[in-house]
Every structure is written in C-alpha cells, then in structure tokens.
Amino acid sequence: MATHLVWLRNDLRLNDNSALWAACRRREDRVLALFIATPQQWRQHDMAPRQAEYIWRSLQLLQQGLAEKGIALHYHQCDDFSAAVSYLQQFCRERHVDALFYNYQYEFNERERDAAVERLLPQQGVTVQGFDDSVLLPPGSVRTGEGKMYKVFTPFSKACLKRLRGDLPPCLPAPEARAHVTADQPAPLAPFDYPRQSIDEQRFTPGEAAALQRLRAFCRQRVADYPARRDYPADEATSGLSVCLAVGTLSPRQCLHRLLREQPHALEEGAGGVWLNELIWRDFYRHLLVAFPALCKNQPFMAWARQLAWQQRADHFTAWCEGKTGYPIVDAAMRQMNATGWMHNRLRMIAASFLVKDLQIDWRRGERYFMSVLIDGDLAANNGGWQWAASTGTDAVPYFRIFNPTTQGARFDPQGTFIRRWLPELAAVPDSDIHDPHGWAKKNRQRLDYPSPIVEHKAAREQTLAIFEAARKASPVIPPEQVNE
C-alpha cells in the first residue's frame, strides 16, 4: 500500500479535481491531503480579506467532505512559499509519502515554488505529478500556425472552440471512499494569521456544494438571457461564479459540461456561447501568464507603455478608491466593490478606464487596489482586464478609445437603478438627469451632498491622447517576446 499526498491550493473541491482523482486511483492506497497557508506571501500578492474568509470557510467544508471519503486534510501555516516547500519536505518524510499530486498554478512565484518541489522531493524518493486543472485547455496547447502563443483573443477563441468540438476535456467525479480509513488524525484547522472580512452569504456562499448549485441554476435559468442582459449592473444577469473559479470550489470544465447539458449547441456559438466565450477569456489570460512571465512582474505587455508619464495625484486616486469622483456610474461601481468585495464586469471596465484615461493614473495602482478588495481576485484575469482597459496589454482596447463615463452610465444604467442603490444621496435626482446630477442641481437650484466631478472628461481625454501618443513616439520598437523574457 502506497501513501499519496494531495497538495491543495486553489482547487478546494472533491469533484473534477485532477490531482485528487489521480491520487485516489487505487482504493487501497493511503491518501492524505494538505493545505499550507502562507500569509506573508498573501500580503505580498494583495489578497483581499474577503477572499481569505471564503477560502477559510470553504476549507472547513472540504475537510468534512474529505473525511467522509476516508482522507484526512492536514493544515499548516508558514510565512511564504520558501517555508512551504521546506514544510512539504518535512511532511513527506514524517508520513512516508511515496507520491505527491497537485494542480498547477500559473503565476510566476507559484511556478518557481513548484519547480523547487519538483527538484527537491524526488531526491527523497517522492514521485511528483502535476496537472493542468484550472483551465479548459493546458497552456501551450493552443498555438498559432507558427507555434506561438496567440496575442489576439478572437483567433485564440476560435482555435479553442475547434479543439473542444473535437475533444471535450473530461469532467471527473469525486473519488470513491478509501478502502482503509487512515488513522492519521489532522490537527483542527486553526484560523489564518491574516485579516478576514465577513462576506455576503447569499451571493458568495462558501464551499463546493453551493458553487455547483449556483452553476446549475445559472445554466438552467439565466444563461440564455446572458448575452442581452450581462452588461446591465442593475440586473442579476451574470453567473456570480467568479469567486468559485478563482478559489477552485468549481472548475471551468464543470462549467463547460453543465452548460452543454443545458445548452447543447453552445460550442457551435448557439445559446450559451457568449458565456462560454467568457470562460475562454479566462483561459486566454492564464495562457498569457505562462507565455509571457513579465506579466506577473508589473510589466506592461506593450514595450512603449513603459514610457507613459502617469499623474501622481494622491487626492485623485483616493477619490477614485472611495467612490467620490463626481461621476455617478464610477462612484457606484467603486462603492459596490468596497461594500461587497465584488464588482460587475462592465463596471470594472468603466472604473478602470476612468482611472487610467480620465485621471491618467498608472493602471498598476488600480490593479493592486482591485486585488486587495475583490473576493474573486485572480492575477491572470485582473491583470488581463486592467491591461485591456489601459491599452497596454495584448488585444487591448486601442488607446484612443476612451470610455465617456457619463454616456456609459446612461447606456448601461439608463434609469439610474444601480446608481441609486449605491449613491443614496442622489435619490431625489430624476431619471433623466441621474448621470449629470450637478447639471440638474444647478438648473433647479438644488444643493447636492455629492462631490463635483474631479476632472472634466473632454479635457482629460485630450490630455490622455497626448500622453499616449508621446509614449509611443518615445519608445523603441521592441517585440513583446523580448519585453516578456
């Protein structure tokens, strides 16, 4: 009988867990699980306290689920990844582990940590097996005809759909209960030495069972209306599954299989195809992290973007963070995120565009702030989204395309339903004036307890165009491959 260890990270589930399934292939083998908390590393990576709470509570539920399968989930806390590798070596020695199983993470520091594990553990007789688990298709498996990583999403998406039509990735069941229940009793899960913040129980219910329930309900009831309603933040039209995917209480393959069960033509771009495209965007950003590691190191994808002359207005950044810019749709978005740890995707684009294109503040400051607050914070998606909005990334919005926050608000929250939810001080403003409340107040001689706009959009747009054009002219032409080496 061999002893197998499953090292859990962002894969806190029993179902469709590639590493867990492989470790449990033979019922007679002894299987242990381990989760190592690294608070100091989390601080360096700006993990939000609400995400820590979601992880902590999901971990407790997973420990119960594993125990029912005869698998003990052990827990350890240490400062950082280096200490985690040392503890992993010690754990394997003490419990005579024969093989380690884990699912890959694609961020640079995590890959460096895993490379150290793959180098050190075999020296003490432990076989190490890693799996591509948080993606539909493994990074490096979707390439251009020249064998390179795609830099534009649309051809990447078409290539993915072609692959998926020909060979659907399997969705694995939970493993069977072990033939021999281990006598190795883990210590109780101690709270993380990391700030935790209460979460909205209804929207972000921790654990795998809640994630699966939410997935089924979305695919059965709302996915058909998703293309038409997904951009309207007042509607409950999105899946709400981003935190489940970020932490791993749900896998993208489970999403794909459930979608196809309810919408069989999704791969042919029928009903459900728009939501499937969002899952492929998620893969795209993960593939990019592997192909261009500099994305994990605070670097823009486009070389010329290093020349951008950012503004250093601390008061403007604070106003943006607090939702006090004087632009209702931006402020409502930021207040939603600060209060709940989540922001609607359309609003993420609007808020990011405003910080970069209206305030001319470095996108990296916004990226870090989002990570520090979002319950669904995920480096690949967050970095990809910010570089898209800032026009510094692959397949980004052209730099001369600048969202007008007033017209964006009027288009996607026409009656101001969402705005009033988060800006109660605008309750008296009529629907027709909700996106220009100060214009209404001046015209009607009303006093508003709401900030005046901190910049004038038209003037800010002209300044931004000049800044971006100057950066492009000043920068030498460097291929992205060299920038990202």
Is 241 annotated as contributing to ligand binding? yes
The CATH number assigned to the domain holding 26 equals: 3.40.50.620
Q: Is 86 annotated as a binding residue?
A: no
Tell whether 330 is covered by a domain: yes
The closest alpha carbon to 8, from 74, 78, 94, belongs to: 74
Residue 178 placed within a domain:
no
Q: Is 54 marked as a binding-site residue?
A: no
User: How many domains, the chain?
Assistant: 3
DSSP class of 355: I
**Any binding-site annotation on 359?**
no
Backbone angles phi, psi at 187, to 5 degrees: -70, 155
Contacts for 444 with CB less than 8 Å, ≥ 6 apart: none
**What is the tens place of the pLDDT at every residue in 360-388?**
999 999 999 999 999 999 999 999 999 99
Same domain for 310 and 230: no
275 annotated to a ligand binding site: yes
Residues 319, 466 within the same domain: yes
Measured distance between the N- and C-terminal CA atoms of the chain, rounded to whole angstroms: 45
Given a contact cutoff of 8 angstroms between Cβ atoms, the answer to whether 337 and 224 are in contact is no
Domain assignment of residue 228, yes or no: yes
**Boundary residue ending a domain (271, 291, 311):** 291
The pTM assigned to this predicted structure is 0.95
Q: With cut-offs at 50, 70 and 90, classify the pLDDT of residue 483.
A: very low
Task: Name which of 140-144, 269-273, 280-284, 302-306 the model is least confident about.
Answer: 269-273
Tell whether 304 is in a known binding site.
Answer: no
Is 275 in the same domain as 358?
A: no
Q: How far apart are CA 249 and CA 135, in angstroms?
A: 14
Is residue 251 marked as binding?
A: no
Q: Is 345 exposed, middle or buried (CB count within 10 Å of its CB: 0-12, 13-18, 19+)?
A: middle
Asked if residue 379 lies in contact with residue 51, where contact means CB atoms within 8 angstroms, the answer is: no
Residues 65 and 161 both lie in one domain: no
Which residue, 347, 314, 286, is CA-closest to 135? 286
pLDDT at 269 over 80: no
Residue 143 and residue 84 share a domain: no
Q: Tell me how far apart the alpha carbons of residues 453 and 282 are, in angstroms, rounded to a whole number.
A: 34
pLDDT attached to residue 271: 67
Q: Which residue, of 131, 152, 182, is where some domain finishes?
A: 131
**pLDDT at 451 > cutoff 50:** yes
The Cα-based distances of 127 to 2, 102, 400 in angstroms read 11, 11, 52
Is there a binding annotation on residue 61? no
Helix, strand, coil % in the chain, rounded to nearest 5:
55, 5, 40
Tokens standing for residue 62: 């997973």
Catalytic (active-site) positions: 278, 281, 310, 345, 363, 386
Which of 282, 400, 267, 295 is closest to 345 using CA atoms? Answer: 282
What range defines the domain where residue 14 resides? 3-131
Indicate if the pLDDT at residue 414 is higher than 80.
yes
What does the block give as tokens for 320?
């943006």
The verdict on whether residue 278 carries a ligand-binding annotation is yes
Q: What is the mean pLDDT of residues 427-453?
A: 95
Distance from C-alpha of 289 to C-alpha of 287, rounded to nearest angstrom: 6
189: in domain: no
What sign results for the dihedral spanned by CA atoms 423, 426, 431, 435? negative
Lowest-confidence range among 33-47, 120-134, 219-233, 268-282? 268-282
pLDDT digits (tens, 9 = 90+) for 82-107: 999 999 999 999 999 999 999 999 99
| DSSP per-residue string spanning 415-456 | T-HHHHHH-GGGTTS-GGGTTSHHHHHHHTT---SSPPPSS-
The reply, when asked if residue 283 is annotated as ligand binding, is yes
Domain boundary pick from 251, 269, 291 = 291
* Contact call for residues 290 and 103 (beta carbons, < 8 A): no
Bridging pattern class, strands 30-37 and 3-8? parallel
- Shared domain for 410 and 262, answered yes or no, is no
Q: Is residue 482 part of a domain?
A: no
Which CATH number does the domain housing residue 274 bear? 1.25.40.80
Q: Would you place residue 484 in the very low, low, confident or very high pLDDT band (cuts 50, 70, 90)? A: very low
Asked whether the beta carbons of 61 and 207 are under 8 A apart, the reply is yes
Are 222 and 96 found together in one domain?
A: no
Residue at 333: amino acid letter: A
pLDDT at 461 over 80: yes
Compute CA distances 200 → 53, 335, 340, whole Å. 11, 15, 7
Q: How far apart are CA 77 and CA 87, in angstroms?
A: 9
- How many Å apart are CA 471 and CA 94, to the nearest integer? 57
Residue 244 sits in the same domain as residue 261: yes
340 falls within a domain = yes
65 is in an annotated binding site: no
User: Same domain, yes or no, for 156 and 143?
Assistant: yes
On the CB side of 145, CA atoms within 13 Å amount to: 1
Q: 13 a known binding residue?
A: no
Query: Cα–chain-centroid distance for residue 34?
Result: 23
Residue 176 within any structural domain of the chain: no
CATH number where 352 lies: 1.10.579.10
Evaluate whether residue 479 is within a structural domain.
Answer: no
Query: Predicted confidence band at 180 (pLDDT cuts at 50, 70, 90)?
Result: confident
Same domain as 325, residue 212:
no
d(CA 152, CA 278): 15
- 314 with 451, same domain: the answer is yes
pLDDT for 90 equals 98
Q: Do 151 and 106 belong together in one domain?
A: no
